[in-house]
Amino acid sequence: MADRPCNVLFLCTGNSARSILAEALINQWGRGRFRGFSAGSHPKGAVHPIVLGLLEHMKVPTEGLRSKSWDEFAAPGAPHLDFVFTVCDNAAGEVCPYWPGQPMSAHWGVPDPAAVEGSETEKWVAFRDTFRMLDNRIKIFTSLPLTSFDRIKLQERLDAIGKARPPEGAG
């Protein structure tokens, strides 16, 4: 893994909100050590507009973000994946495609902000909360000294990150 960036795929059902946020955040915080991707089992075909607005507000690049099927990453010629994380409970329970190379995987479920009904402010708050949770987990992940862990210890760390919550008052 040291001779190239680690490729990280974030999965969700619709690939319009949570997995897109995670892709953008790991590309922001990965500092060339990680390259993020996202996909969905049943992609919506468009990135949620609040996701784009929030990322732009937080000064996180949005170039190249798009809603796409996870089939793209199981096809010949797809990037070699080092890590695959599910960020929604539906995708975690689905039968995923076979990922060549046996990437490390974990479930990092977060609530679906796109499912929130209410005022625009309530929707933005939900997306901001999801952003904070994913931002916290991705910062923890990208700070890990990956080469100092064996696969078992690394899996324990990845699973623990999936339970991490942002510090009170963060964001």
Whole-number Cα distances in Å, 163 to 17, 140, 166: 19, 12, 10
Contacts of 7 (CB under 8 A, 6+ apart): 34, 35, 37, 79, 80, 81, 82, 83
Q: Considering 12, 21, 47, 81, which one is annotated as catalytic? A: 12
- Does residue 88 carry a catalytic annotation? yes
Distance between CA atoms of residues 20 and 92, nearest Å:
16
Distance between CA atoms of residues 167 and 171, nearest Å:
9
Share in percent of the chain as helix, strand, coil (round to 5): 40, 15, 45
* Residues facing residue 34 across a β-bridge: 6
Q: Considering 60, 96, 104, 154, which one is annotated as catalytic? A: 96
**Local structure of 135: helix, strand or coil:** helix
Q: Considering 39, 84, 88, 133, which one is annotated as catalytic? A: 88
Known catalytic residues are: 12, 88, 96
